[in-house]
């Protein structure tokens, strides 16, 4: 495991605050070792740092009460959704109280005429779309995991649909949040735009719980398209596939999804999902629109793919075939683990300008091979974002060191290409060393905002910016 810095603990304050919260919440506050470990980070190679207690509020008022008690005694507060984040976001390096928001899972209102809805933070993306489907609406942001919407906002998540529908930043109209002093604020209303004051919603989106806890979200919705067409096409090389992506975007084709799987990922998908795809680099695409529009988009892409050596092109509008392809894409993490049974998958992501995408992916493949790593690559390549998954024997220290070197090298490569060390995973603990490299003096102003809003550094300390 990769060690994470431990921060000084306020032992007396933690004991007092946990005692008060236990009296107030009874069985909804848990201090057992197993549940505390579950609420430390378990989806990464960063060492687990468990909180001292986990509390399960059911309302905004209860979250406010929890934060007020913790603020009074200067005790860290760590918000928790489904725990699927990948960079140590929910670790508790100074101990404290984990606030598990999954009991706050109500869809409060759907305003179909205005294409928006109001939800609590524990609602997951799949639950919301199940709730919406009989109204002809959907919420498009789809990270591979069935993450909570509060957590998705906190990490500024995106996913396969981002190339057309944007990220959480683009699909949250306003927020309700608990600030570090326990006060409840709203950042706006349901208007589609506003020029009223600072954009606090965008400040909290992507803040990873370091500035406040999101307790309600007003989200932008979209109509389910009249027609959806999927396509797949195999290419002789990653470079050829990436060139086809660039041409597709430059032509202005309104593609909804465009995903890259390298050779190893295709091999894994075939074995895990029962597919029979050629084991060469693959693009998966989806087009939304009218019946004629979606079909025309797919046909135009087919022409572009042919210019770059694309073969085995196939388009389908049948729901069964489409779902089979995209389920295989969403199962890629588990599929890739089968390439090396017993190994741990270390998922990391970067994002570069599309014009540098082919170069970046090719360099990542070469570097992994140089270090002797099995590291399949998949990517939301329509916006230049790709993921690598080194498969590591965590008992082999040389291998762990090589993986650490690879991740560091990849972050530096993306930054050198005028890209970012993370397109959607966030900073957390794991990416903190690269934020200063990427943004320089801007991080000083992030620290100043954090200090002004959270002077005692109780809100998810040790994440994004240096601890106060």
Q: Looking at the structure, do residues 65 and 160 belong to the same domain, yes or no?
A: no
Query: Does residue 87 share a domain with residue 37?
Result: yes
- Extract the tokens encoding 18: 């946990």
Residue 395 pLDDT exceeds 70: yes
At 468, the pLDDT band (50, 70, 90 cuts) reads low
Domain assignment present for 463? no
Tally of CB atoms within 10 A around 442? 10
Residue finishing a domain among 38, 70, 102: 102
| Token output for 27 | 């069985």
383: pLDDT confidence band, cut at 50, 70 and 90? very high
**pLDDT band at 315; cut points 50, 70, 90:** confident
The answer to whether residue 416 scores a pLDDT higher than 80 is yes
Same structural domain for residues 88 and 112? no
Judge whether 134 lies within some domain: yes
The pLDDT of residue 273 is: 94
pLDDT of residue 41: 80
Domain co-membership, 217 together with 257: no
Q: Is residue 364 one of the residues assigned to a domain?
A: yes
pLDDT of residue 1: 63
Give the angle 413-417-419 at the CA atoms, nearest 5°.
90
Task: Give me the mean pLDDT over the 72-99 stretch.
Answer: 96
Question: CA-to-CA distance for 116 and 174, rounded, in angstroms?
Answer: 11
Of 102, 135, 155, the residue that ends a domain is 102
Predicted model pTM: 0.95
| 336 part of a folded domain | yes
Tell me: do 299 and 189 sit in the same domain. no
CATH code of the domain covering residue 138: 3.30.465.10
The CATH number given to whatever domain includes residue 32 is 3.30.43.10
Mean pLDDT in residue range 388-412? 96
pLDDT in tens, 338-371: 999 999 999 999 999 999 999 999 999 999 999 9
Question: Could you give the angle at which helices 263-273 and 319-330 cross, rounded to 10 degrees?
Answer: 120
- Tell me the angle at which helices 238-250 and 291-307 cross, rounded to the nearest 10 degrees: 130
Per-residue confidence (pLDDT) for residue 405, from 0 to 100? 97
Lowest mean pLDDT among 190-199, 320-329, 339-348, 373-382: 320-329
Structural domain includes residue 54:
yes
**Counted domains in the chain:** 3
Confirm whether 5 is domain-assigned.
no
Note the pLDDT of residue 232. Answer: 94
Give yes or no: residues 145 and 179 share one domain: yes
Average pLDDT over residues 174-197: 96
Is residue 359 assigned to a domain?
yes
Cα distances from 174 to residues 165, 213, 251, in angstroms, run: 17, 14, 34
% of the chain with per-residue pLDDT over 90: 91
Q: Are residues 166 and 87 in the same domain?
A: no
pLDDT at 69 over 80: yes
Q: Looking at the predicted structure, is the pLDDT value of residue 167 above 80?
A: yes
pLDDT-based confidence at 319, cuts 50/70/90?
A: confident
Residue 155 has pLDDT above 90, yes or no: yes
Residue 67 binned pLDDT confidence (cut-offs 50, 70, 90):
very high
Residues 168 and 44 in one domain: no
106 phi and psi angles, rounded to 5 deg: -100, 140
| In a domain? residue 467 | no
Of the three residues 47, 82, 102, the one that is the final residue of a domain is 102
The reply to whether 253 and 325 lie within a common domain is yes
Say if residue 282 is in the same domain as residue 247: yes
pLDDT: which is higher, 250 or 106: 106
Considering the domain architecture, whether residues 289 and 330 belong to the same structural domain is answered as yes
If DSSP states are collapsed to H, E and C, what string results for 99-162? Answer: EECCCCCCEEEEEHHHCEEEECCCCEHHHHHHHHHHHCEECCCCCCCCCEHHHHHHCCCCCCCH
Domain check: are 315 and 187 in the same one?
Answer: no
Give me the pLDDT at residue 109, please: 98
Phi then psi dihedrals of residue 143, to 5 deg: -60, 155
Given pLDDT bands bounded at 50, 70 and 90, which one contains residue 323?
Answer: confident
* Domain that includes residue 163, residue range: 107-223
How many Å separate Cα 360 from the centre of its chain?
21
* 439: pLDDT strictly greater than 80: yes
Going by pLDDT thresholds of 50, 70 and 90, the confidence category of residue 79 is: very high
The pLDDT tens digits of the residues spanning 196-247 come to 999 999 999 999 999 999 999 999 999 999 999 899 999 999 999 999 999 9
Which CATH number goes with the domain that contains 260? 3.40.462.10
Question: What mean pLDDT do residues 295-322 have?
Answer: 91
Distance CA 355, CA 336 (A): 27
Integer Cα distance of 347 and 376 in angstroms: 10
């Amino acid at each position: 495991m990769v060690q994470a810095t431990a921060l000084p603990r306020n032992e007396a304050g933690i004991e007092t605050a946990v005692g008060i919260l236990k009296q107030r919440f009874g069985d909804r506050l848990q201090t057992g070792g197993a549940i505390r470990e579950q609420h430390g980070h378990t989806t990464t190679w960063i060492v687990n740092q468990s909180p001292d207690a986990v509390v399960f509020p059911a309302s905004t008022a209860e979250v406010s009460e929890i934060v007020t008690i913790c603020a009074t005694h200067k005790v860290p507060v760590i918000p928790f959704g489904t725990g699927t984040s990948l960079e140590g976001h929910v670790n508790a390096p100074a101990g404290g109280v984990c606030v598990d928001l999954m009991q706050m899972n109500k869809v409060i209102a759907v305003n179909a005429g205005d294409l928006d809805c109001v939800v609590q933070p524990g609602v997951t993306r799949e639950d919301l779309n199940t709730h919406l489907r009989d109204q002809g609406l959907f919420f498009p942001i789809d990270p591979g995991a069935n993450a909570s919407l509060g957590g998705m906002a906190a990490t500024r998540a995106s996913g396969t649909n981002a190339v057309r529908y944007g990220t959480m930043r683009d699909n949250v109209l306003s927020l309700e949040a608990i600030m570090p002093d326990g006060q409840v604020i709203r950042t706006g209303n349901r208007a589609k735009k506003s020029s009223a004051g600072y954009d606090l919603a965008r400040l909290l989106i992507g803040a990873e719980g370091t500035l406040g806890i999101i307790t309600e979200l007003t989200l932008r919705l979209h109509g389910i398209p009249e027609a959806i067409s999927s396509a797949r096409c195999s290419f002789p090389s990653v470079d050829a596939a990436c060139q086809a992506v660039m041409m597709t975007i430059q032509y202005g084709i309104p593609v909804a999804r465009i995903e890259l799987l390298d050779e190893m990922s295709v091999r894994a998908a075939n074995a895990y999902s029962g597919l029979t795809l050629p084991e060469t680099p693959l693009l998966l695409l989806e087009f939304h629109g009218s019946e004629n529009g979606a079909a025309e988009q797919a046909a135009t892409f087919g022409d572009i793919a042919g210019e770059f050596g694309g073969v085995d092109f196939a388009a389908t509008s049948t729901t069964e075939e489409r779902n089979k392809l995209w389920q295989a894409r969403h199962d890629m993490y588990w599929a890739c683990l089968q390439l090396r049974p017993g190994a741990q998958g270390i998922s990391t992501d970067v994002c570069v300008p599309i014009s540098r995408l082919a170069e970046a992916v090719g360099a990542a493949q070469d570097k992994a091979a140089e270090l002797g790593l099995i590291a399949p690559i998949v990517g939301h390549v329509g916006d230049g974002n790709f993921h690598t998954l080194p498969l590591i024997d965590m008992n082999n220290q040389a291998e762990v060191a090589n993986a650490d070197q690879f991740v560091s090298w990849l972050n530096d490569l993306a930054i050198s290409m005028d890209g970012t060390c993370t397109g959607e995973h966030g900073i957390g603990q794991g990416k903190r060393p690269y934020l200063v490299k990427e943004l320089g003096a801007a991080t000083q102003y992030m620290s100043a905002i954090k200090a002004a809003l959270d002077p005692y550094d109780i809100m998810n300390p040790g994440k994004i910016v240096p601890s106060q």
